[in-house]
Amino acid sequence: MNWNEALEELEAKRAQAKLGGGQERIDKQHQSGKLTARERLEKLLDPGSFVEIDNFIESRIDDFDLDKRRVLGDGVITGYGEINGRLVFVYSEDFTVIGGTLGEYHSKKICRLQDMALEAKAPIICINDSGGARIEEGINSLSGYAGMFLRHTLASGVIPQIALILGPCSGGACYAPAICDFIFMVRGVSKMFITGPNVVKTVIGEEVTVEELGGADIHARKSGVSHFTYESEYECLMGVRKLLSYLPQSYTATLPNNEPKHSVLNKISHLFQANKGFDHNDRCDTLVDIVPDNSKKSYDVKKVIEVIFDAGSFMEVQKDFAANVVVGFSRLAGDVVGVIANQANCMAGSLDYNASDKAARFIRFCDCFNIPLITLVDVPAFLPGTNQEHSGIIRHGAKMLFAYSEATVPKITLIMRKAYGGAYIAMNSKNMGADYAFAWPIAEIAVMGAEGAVNIAFKKRIKAAEDPAAEKAKCIEEYEKRFLNPYEAASKGFITEVIMPRESRQKLRSALMALSTKSIKIPDKKHGNIPL
């Protein structure tokens, strides 16, 4: 073969690989409202940055006439590129090639990419659009999933792992995304379930649609499997780019910062202007208007987050699941932080078993990647009730306790209003490991609210009184003066400082700066045993 022939053959094979399953199948993909595997990579990555690897690999199985459908790439595109100038590894399953099903060489390509990402200490992005295990390849296909699961687990806590469900993802295929740190889904496009509607109907006789069984909204609101939901593939891909702007390349890398780095002395000078005590720009004057001093009135804690942290910087995680707790990434003077907050306008901000899971998972992710935690507290209790007890609130709540206690990153707590009982402890109290615990003057830190406490502690006194109602009111007043304020806790060292709401941003910034070099040692062990 001469040079001309060799080069022509190479160009032909490259063109063949890029065509996937052929123009007819590409057109069908577009008709179903979906982008192709390559179009997704083009939109996700910085222009011209993608480098494909293993593009000439193909299936070697010859049974079931599969050789007639054999296409270069074997149904998955793998490689690396850049997002905002930062290295990422990515694979994109190609539904136009044998339905994107996973066979032996399909999985080998993915496993090789996983190894490369781990070795390079860079994030991996997994775009799923597949009919699942390739039946024609039998056990080789199942073995391929096993290799992927193992590598996802080994990479957990080392590099960020992000999964996108942009088509079907069923059976064993679901567990690769489930081991990843975050799952993105698109309404009307994403489908994720262990068994399809036909199997459900056959086994238990229940009529159910694909969307009802495993669509984007089900996993966003009910199961809690997914973390981000979008209306279109393009918005979803842009969401991944945004998320990565908050994350480090690996657990050993520094966090991204969108402001110029300053020395500690410059930051102190900026924070504490001469004779003012705080930066005028950091005053949160509107917080007293957002948060009512009547603890029985609700409000939207997201408005508090918007005021305290850099404007427009909050990226909420799992916003439609367990809405009584709000979690997400934000920035404070450009520095990335993880935020956990009780949502007063949903179940009064109490902690149920789903909220405990949601918070614990987020806390552990932040700790893995050295993202400081800031907790905003307004919590009346762990939600009582038979349903909660039978659903394992004790076990699920313990996950949250474990996660906070285990975390070694900077941990700062701000008690805004209610902080009662075991829920107060669970929301990163000082003795649970909070490095700094601030409280507003209206904070109520106690075993329980006045009404419930008085019914127990002053039961005999009230019963013996000539006017039980008047005596109860008097007892409530005494209890509130004695316990429902932050000063009792501050006098015993459980609160670092009682602060004005307007000082919140400045105090959190100052504490974050002071903790920037925090380093602690944990007991020597293999790993803890979180109560799963």
Angle subtended at Cα 378 by Cα 373 and Cα 384, rounded to the nearest 5 degrees = 110
**Residues forming a β-bridge with 191:** 168
| Cα–Cα dist 504/506, whole Å | 6
CB 89 within 8 A of CB 124: yes
Q: Is 171 a catalytic residue?
A: yes
Q: How many CA atoms lie within 13 A of 204 on its CB side?
A: 7
| Cα–Cα dist 441/438, whole Å | 10
Given 157, 224, 421, 422, which residue is catalytic?
A: 422
- Read off the DSSP letter of residue 225: -
Q: How many CA atoms lie within 13 A of 198 on its CB side?
A: 1
Given 172, 224, 392, 433, which residue is catalytic?
A: 172
Given 20, 21, 171, 239, which residue is catalytic?
A: 171
Given 423, 434, 437, 453, which residue is catalytic?
A: 423
CB-based contacts of 226, cutoff 8 Å, min separation 6: 165, 183, 184, 185, 190, 192, 216, 219, 220, 318
Q: Is 423 a catalytic residue?
A: yes
CB 163 within 8 A of CB 180: yes
Q: Is 426 a catalytic residue?
A: no
| Cα–Cα dist 221/428, whole Å | 26
| Cα–Cα dist 451/463, whole Å | 15
Residues annotated as part of the active site: 171-172, 422-423
